[in-house]
Amino acid sequence: MALQEPPKTLAPRTKHARRTLWIGGITISLALAIIPPWVDSTKIFIQVGIIVGLVGFCIALLVEQSTKLDQAIVEMRTQMERQAAELTTALREVSPVIAAPPLCKDFVDGYVAAYQSIDRRGDIDVFSDIRQSKSSELLDCLHDLSNGAIIVSIDGPYSVRARPFDDVLHYRAVSMGPFEFWTGPFG
């Protein structure tokens, strides 16, 4: 994402230089408004001096506003670049979730909600330890499934005793007993 460069100006960038020019401009304007009436007291010099002084004062104010605008543009540009970088990073982090199937998105939503609920209760050490342990177990199980293999308990819900594994290519088991299952026709 490319942001357009602000227009280049000849306005000074430092606060001290701007302040010096502004004070100098005001001083010159006031001098031009006050000195002509002292030199010649005719009505025309007084009027010209006042007009020149007011015009100089207005120009000084315009220069000050212009430099403030330039500074605001630079600050806004810097802030927008920082926010754009943060947004890009956030989108890069969530893009795999956006491309995931709906069931995975539902799972991630539930997981994030539960994680945040635990955090809202405060950092209770027991909950944090259990959360870390269970998260690690879940992630290990998902990695095993994604690699096409899983270790299950012989008496668990996914045991070969509990359901048929017609689509399983290879089944390896270690059993210490009872041996009745293994001596039967299915075993």
Give me the tens of pLDDT residue by residue for the chain, a chain 187 residues long: 455 555 555 444 566 776 777 777 777 777 766 666 666 666 776 677 677 777 777 777 787 788 788 889 999 999 999 999 999 998 888 888 888 888 888 888 888 888 888 777 776 777 778 878 888 888 888 888 888 777 777 677 777 666 666 776 766 666 666 677 667 776 6
Q: Report the phi/psi class of residue 148: left, alpha or beta, with left for phi > 0 and alpha for psi in -120 to 50.
A: left
DSSP-derived secondary structure for 12-81: --SHHHHHHHHHHHHHHHHHHHHHHHHH--SHHHHHHHHHHHHHHHHHHHHHHHHHHHHHHHHHHHHHHH
Phi, psi values for residue 7, rounded to 5°: -65, 140
Contact present, 52 and 33 (Cβ < 8 Å) = yes
- Sign, CA torsion 130/135/136/138: positive
Contact present, 25 and 63 (Cβ < 8 Å) = yes
Task: Give the predicted TM-score (pTM) of the model.
Answer: 0.41
Contact present, 7 and 75 (Cβ < 8 Å) = no
Write the single-letter amino acid at 126. V
Distance CA 46, CA 38 (A): 9
Residue 104: in which H helix or E strand, if any? helix 102-120
